[in-house]
Amino acid sequence: MSEIDQKLISEISEMLSGLNKAGIEISADTDFNADLNVDSVAVMDFVLMVEDKYDISIPINLLSEVSTVGQFAQVVAKARAD
């Protein structure tokens, strides 16, 4: 994983701190549902926060394929590059 990817994952992890009720260490492999136990409404609120922070738009259809923080970071990186 590149340094940029690591930085993005770190930033996303910080933004996820409010959803991390279990207090686990968040990494690229952290699963939104299994590890963080967040529901779809909380995920959508989080996505909106990320979109606002990076001034991007994340297509909703891509989110159905995302389950980990690393996968989400890849979607964010792609949206930032477009």
Quote the pLDDT of residue 22: 86
Quote the pLDDT of residue 70: 94
- Which tokens go with 65? 């394929």
Quote the pLDDT of residue 3: 65
Q: How far apart are CA 31 and CA 71, in angstroms?
A: 10
Give the start-to-end residue ranges of the domains of the chain: 3-81
pTM of the prediction? 0.90
Res. 4: pLDDT tops 90: no
In eight-state DSSP terms, residue 67 is -
Res. 1: pLDDT tops 70: no
pLDDT of 21-72, one tens digit each? 889 999 999 999 999 998 888 989 999 999 999 999 999 898 889 999 999 9
In this predicted model, which residue has the larger pLDDT, 5 or 76? 76
Domain 3-81 fold is 1.10.1200
Interior/surface letters 2-36, b for 16+ CB within 10 angstroms, e for the rest: eeeeeebbeebbeebeebbeeeeebebebebeebb
